[in-house]
A and B are shown apart, each in its own frame.
Chain A
Amino acid sequence: MTALRITDLVFRWPRQARNCLEIPQLELAAGERVFLHGPSGSGKSSLLGLLGGVAVPQSGAIELLGTNITQLGSSTRDRFRADHIGFLFQQFNLLPWLSALDNVTLPCTFSTRRRERTGDSPHAEAERLLGHLDLGPDTWRKPAGELSVGQQQRVAAARALIGRPEILIADEPTSALDAERQQIFIDLLLQESAAVGATLVFVSHDRRLAGHFDRVVALDEINRVAPELAT
């Protein structure tokens, strides 16, 4: 089963002269954990936007779980994203004025499907996930802004995982962590995504982290557009 299939994708930002992305082909199988190597300027933010359905390519198809999201209307795309994709960013993933627990359960307020997949008990599921990610109950009710960066990233991971979305997209989630923690976090992520059977797309510029992934894809190789030099 193909989780993601990109065909003849062409994307350019409005008011830009040259294309940003030209990807003829990319396919990810369900449950694959892929390391997508992309330095800054290689168009990875644009690709993530397209995968998330917040941007629409000028031409080409993006099939997620069998659905071509480029054909969907914008609110349908928003709903698709809410239902099937969990995001994890480099930093500032959380709403600082909500507690850790409330942050984790957010996707369940946006998606009834994900809520149902927690057995209609998002809080219990959130507690379980946080426990798995080594976050004790003393952190659960704290406002997310008061947690350390490492703790915040783990809360963000729990949020991405809750409700078992089929696709996880992580954009440089370890860049803000210190070196020792980076690999630990990645292993945690790999473990958890395997546990829920999700397809993981881990985007990073640091090739050294690629070790434990099923597959490594270089954005430079699949993208026909040459990357811009240092921004």
Chain B
Amino acid sequence: MKAVLRLAVLSAWSRRLTLGLTLIAIALAVTLLLAVERIRGDARQSFTQSVSGVDLVVGARTGGVQLMLYAVFHSGTASNNIGWESYRAIASHPAVDWALPLSLGDSHRGFAVLGTSADYFDRFRYGEREALHWRDGKAFTGVFEAVLGSEVARGLGYRLGDSITLSHGLAERGPEHGDKPFRVTGILAPTGTPVDRTVHVSLESITALHLDWVGGAPLPGVNIPAEFVAKFDLRPKEITAALVGLKQRGDAFRMQRFINQYRGEPLLAVLPGVALDELWQTVAMVERSLLAISALVVLIGLTGLAATLLAELNERRRELAILRALGAGPRDIFLMLTAEGVLVTAAGALLGVLLVTAGSGLAAPWLLERFGVVLAMRLPGGAELALIVAVIATGLLASLVPGWRAWRMSLADGLTPRN
């Protein structure tokens, strides 16, 4: 039997052009399948990692998922802002332990700009109650100072002391606040969350930037130079959202109700866990469809393999008769053909794994920059391994067809095939 298997490998090698193409087809299908699974898992992981220890996320009355997207993932836009008074009412509520104001809307070369208070850097938690760490420098203290996330600094090559200008709006090249440059005072260590691709400034800076702007454009003829902004009241009038921590986590619902029914203006408060679950439910449909399609593609590849092996069988009748003359039985022939199929499937799967691993390495920086998704370049984990095993098992099933056909053929042909 071992002799037959060794011959199977050598025989397959002699037909490596045809089998090679089939192998590539399987490899690409497996790459697709694993990539979909990996991105799905990693995206989900990235999202759930982005916020920790936050009881409520508060913003204007939009949808819960949308609020999470812009408040936590700095992605997308808010439909409305919330007033500073409302924020103060919430922050000073006796049930609230701490609150962080967030002001979004500007950007820098494609990265979001976040206006917040200085204690954001002490308060903010991500992952498993991880605090933010500094790679370099420290928090901003005054106006026109910025703290960069690790990806912003790395991607654009910034260092402490560098000067940057911010753009109005989220477009890559929006109208610039060119007259008010910011000085980089700190760079954060990598977190694997949207923090990495955000530029952090003080709330006062945001106000200062827009002193002489109205409706998304500078007031014509009015220009307040940077050095004079301090003469104006820079306290924010509105913010985009807020992160809230409570003294008792069990008070979340009551606080949520209080905020949702707040008379001052229409507000929305969501529990991050609940909002994320909502997001996953919406996304689950898409995920499942993608995986189903990838599975179908794998099936197509394996059907191709079975068809190739079957088609070649006719050419190989002499080869099989020789093996029979040498002492192989029909069962050995069956095993040989099936083993060939499994071998090609396994080799294709292996190539697929290599492609997806290399691909993750290549795509990771772009995915992080664009979507904040951390795609680790790693070997397949639990779910992915299960998929690979399933692929090889299906390959085995598919190979049974040429195997069975070869069995029948060699029984009929004996030692003298008719061709």
When distances are taken between beta carbons in the complex, the residues of chain A under 8 Å from B331 are: 75
When distances are taken between beta carbons in the complex, the residues of chain A under 8 Å from B416 are: 45, 48-49, 89, 171
Q: Name the distance in Å between B13's Cβ and chain A's nearest Cβ.
A: 7
Q: Name the distance in Å between B39's Cβ and chain A's nearest Cβ.
A: 42
When distances are taken between beta carbons in the complex, the residues of chain A under 8 Å from B325 are: 52, 81, 87, 89
Q: Name the distance in Å between A173's Cβ and chain B's nearest Cβ.
A: 13
Contacts known (A92-B318, A94-B322, A97-B14); A111 close to B327, Cβ less than 8 A: yes
Asked if residues B3 and A110 are in contact (CB atoms below 8 Å), the reply is yes
- B6, B13, B319: which has the most chain A beta carbons within 10 Å? B319
Q: Name the distance in Å between B41's Cβ and chain A's nearest Cβ.
A: 43
**Residue A206 lies at the interface, judged by CB distance under 8 Å to chain B:** no
Q: Name the distance in Å between B402's Cβ and chain A's nearest Cβ.
A: 19
Asked if residues B11 and A97 are in contact (CB atoms below 8 Å), the reply is yes
When distances are taken between beta carbons in the complex, the residues of chain A under 8 Å from B327 are: 78-79, 81-83, 107, 110-111
- B7, B324, B325, B331: which has the most chain A beta carbons within 10 Å? B325
Q: Please count the residue pairs between chain A and chain B whose beta carbons lie under 8 angstroms apart in the complex.
A: 66
Give A110 to B388 CA distance when docked, in angstroms.
34
Interface SS majority for chain B = helix
**Residue A67 lies at the interface, judged by CB distance under 8 Å to chain B:** no
When distances are taken between beta carbons in the complex, the residues of chain A under 8 Å from B318 are: 92
Can you name the residue of chain B whose Cβ is closest to the Cβ of A75? Answer: B329
**Residue B414 lies at the interface, judged by CB distance under 8 Å to chain A:** yes
Give A110 to B324 CA distance when docked, in angstroms.
10
Contact of B11 among A48, A55, A74, A95 (CB under 8 A): A95
Q: Name the distance in Å between A60's Cβ and chain B's nearest Cβ.
A: 18
**Residue A151 lies at the interface, judged by CB distance under 8 Å to chain B:** no
Contacts known (A95-B11, A95-B319, A97-B11); A54 close to B415, Cβ less than 8 A: yes
Asked if residues A109 and B3 are in contact (CB atoms below 8 Å), the reply is yes
**Residue A217 lies at the interface, judged by CB distance under 8 Å to chain B:** no
Size range of the chain A interface in the assembly: 20 to 34
Give A97 to B3 CA distance when docked, in angstroms.
15
Give A49 to B319 CA distance when docked, in angstroms.
16
Give A107 to B414 CA distance when docked, in angstroms.
18
Can you name the residue of chain A whose Cβ is closest to the Cβ of B318? Answer: A92
**Residue B17 lies at the interface, judged by CB distance under 8 Å to chain A:** no
Give A96 to B325 CA distance when docked, in angstroms.
16
Contact of A106 among B14, B326, B414 (CB under 8 A): B326
Q: Name the distance in Å between B260's Cβ and chain A's nearest Cβ.
A: 75
Contact of B414 among A52, A75, A93, A111 (CB under 8 A): A52
Asked if residues B7 and A95 are in contact (CB atoms below 8 Å), the reply is yes
When distances are taken between beta carbons in the complex, the residues of chain B under 8 Å from A75 are: 329, 331
Give A196 to B7 CA distance when docked, in angstroms.
28
Task: Kindly identify, within residues 81 to 104 of chain A, every residue whose CB is under 8 Å from any CB belonging to chain B.
Answer: 81-83, 87, 89, 92-98
Can you name the residue of chain A whose Cβ is closest to the Cβ of B317? Answer: A92
**Residue B10 lies at the interface, judged by CB distance under 8 Å to chain A:** yes
Q: Name the distance in Å between A176's Cβ and chain B's nearest Cβ.
A: 13
**Residue B297 lies at the interface, judged by CB distance under 8 Å to chain A:** no
**Residue B328 lies at the interface, judged by CB distance under 8 Å to chain A:** yes
Q: Name the distance in Å between B139's Cβ and chain A's nearest Cβ.
A: 70
Asked if residues B3 and A87 are in contact (CB atoms below 8 Å), the reply is no
Asked if residues A87 and B415 are in contact (CB atoms below 8 Å), the reply is yes
Give A75 to B327 CA distance when docked, in angstroms.
9
When distances are taken between beta carbons in the complex, the residues of chain B under 8 Å from A74 are: 329-330
When distances are taken between beta carbons in the complex, the residues of chain A under 8 Å from B7 are: 95
Contact of B322 among A49, A55, A95 (CB under 8 A): A95
Give A110 to B323 CA distance when docked, in angstroms.
9
Can you name the residue of chain B whose Cβ is closest to the Cβ of A107? Answer: B326
Q: Name the distance in Å between A196's Cβ and chain B's nearest Cβ.
A: 18
- B7, B321, B326, B328: which has the most chain A beta carbons within 10 Å? B326
Give A111 to B3 CA distance when docked, in angstroms.
10
Give A95 to B322 CA distance when docked, in angstroms.
8
Can you name the residue of chain B whose Cβ is closest to the Cβ of A81? Answer: B327
Q: Name the distance in Å between A107's Cβ and chain B's nearest Cβ.
A: 6
Asked if residues A54 and B414 are in contact (CB atoms below 8 Å), the reply is yes
Contacts known (A52-B414, A54-B414); A110 close to B326, Cβ less than 8 A: yes
When distances are taken between beta carbons in the complex, the residues of chain A under 8 Å from B414 are: 45, 49, 52, 54-55
Task: Kindly identify, within residues 217 to 249 of chain B, every residue whose CB is under 8 Å from any CB belonging to chain A.
Answer: none
Can you name the residue of chain B whose Cβ is closest to the Cβ of A143? Answer: B14
When distances are taken between beta carbons in the complex, the residues of chain A under 8 Å from B324 are: 52, 54, 78
When distances are taken between beta carbons in the complex, the residues of chain B under 8 Å from A49 are: 414-416
When distances are taken between beta carbons in the complex, the residues of chain B under 8 Å from A98 are: 10
Contacts known (A75-B331, A78-B328, A110-B3); A48 close to B415, Cβ less than 8 A: yes
| The 4 residue pairs across chains A and B that have the minimum distance between CB atoms | A82-B327, A97-B14, A78-B329, A109-B3
12 A-B residue pairs with CB within 8 Å: A45-B416, A48-B415, A49-B416, A52-B324, A74-B329, A78-B329, A82-B326, A89-B415, A95-B11, A106-B3, A107-B326, A110-B327
Known contacts A78-B327, A109-B3, A110-B3; 20 further A-B pairs (Cβ under 8 A) = A45-B416, A52-B415, A54-B414, A74-B330, A78-B324, A78-B332, A82-B326, A83-B327, A87-B326, A87-B415, A89-B415, A95-B7, A95-B10, A97-B14, A106-B326, A107-B326, A107-B327, A110-B327, A111-B327, A171-B416
